[in-house]
């Protein structure tokens, strides 16, 4: 499984790189703050949103601690998508949130 650190994600955002983040936390968790550019798809519904994702793009998966996003990353990889897990999740994120 591919891993990316929160620092690497923040650097890419600061450099203006086009990123595709998916936050797999539940709505009540998202309400506490999320990375601005992140799309929200709760882990339990990810399988129903595959048709909305592009197999040519790489997705960075985010959750609270990195555990659910690791599951999401594995699931996407098993289904032919490119994905990376943001290590440590939002607990390790030091960038801006909205």
Q: How many CB atoms sit inside 10 A of residue 37's CB?
A: 14
End-to-end Cα separation, the chain, in angstroms: 28
Q: Residue 40, class by beta-carbon neighbours within 10 Å (0-12 exposed, 13-18 middle, 19+ buried)? A: middle
Element (H, E) at 40: strand 39-40
Tell me whether residue 63 is one of the annotated catalytic residues.
yes
Catalytic-labelled residue, pool 21, 62, 63, 70: 63
Biggest distance spanned by C-alpha atoms of the chain? 32
What amino acid positions are annotated as catalytic residues? 63
């Amino acid at each position: 499984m591919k891993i990316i650190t929160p620092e690497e994600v923040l650097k890419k955002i600061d450099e203006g790189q086009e990123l595709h983040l998916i936050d797999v936390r539940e709505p009540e968790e998202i309400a506490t703050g999320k990375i601005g550019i992140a799309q929200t798809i709760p882990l339990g519904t990810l399988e129903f949103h595959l048709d909305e994702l592009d197999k040519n793009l790489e997705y960075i998966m985010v959750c609270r601690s990195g555990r659910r996003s690791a599951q999401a990353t594995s699931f996407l990889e098993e289904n032919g998508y490119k994905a990376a897990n943001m290590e440590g999740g939002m607990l390790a994120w030091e960038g801006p949130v909205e």
